[in-house]
C-alpha cells in the first residue's frame, strides 16, 4: 500500500499539520507507536556491525 504523493510543506506550520495527519492515519490503520525509553540505543553493545550494505560498488580512485 503506497501513500499518495503530495507537495512538500512550505513552512513549519504546514509541516506540523502534515505530521499530525500522518500520525492520525497511522493510528487509524491499527498500528501502534512504540515508546523507547531515554538512553536506549539501537547500537550493538559489543560494537559489531549490523550487516547493512548500502552499496557494493568500489569508489573510483580520485585523480
DSSP conformation letters of 1-63: --PPP-PPPSSHHHHHHHHHHHHHHHHHTT--PPPPPTT--SS-TT-------S--PPPPPP-
**11 lies in a domain?**
yes
Rounded Cα distance, 50 and 44, in Å: 8
- pLDDT of amino acid 7: 66
**6 lies in a domain?**
yes
The region that residue 34 occupies, defined by phi over 0 for left and psi between -120 and 50 for alpha, beta otherwise, is: beta
**2 lies in a domain?**
yes
**43 lies in a domain?**
no
- pLDDT of amino acid 9: 59
- pLDDT of amino acid 45: 72
Range of the domain at 23: 1-37
- Show pLDDT as tens, one digit a residue, over the chain (63 residues): 566 666 665 788 888 999 999 999 999 999 999 988 888 777 777 777 666 667 777 666 555
Number of domains observed in the structure of the chain? 1
- pLDDT of amino acid 3: 64
**16 lies in a domain?**
yes
Amino acid at each position: 500500500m503506497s501513500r499518495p504523493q503530495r507537495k512538500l510543506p512550505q513552512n513549519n506550520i504546514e509541516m506540523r499539520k502534515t505530521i499530525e495527519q500522518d500520525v492520525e492515519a497511522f493510528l487509524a490503520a491499527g498500528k501502534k507507536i512504540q515508546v523507547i525509553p531515554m538512553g536506549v540505543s539501537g547500537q550493538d553493545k559489543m560494537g559489531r556491525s549490523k550487516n547493512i550494505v548500502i552499496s557494493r560498488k568500489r569508489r573510483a580512485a580520485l585523480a
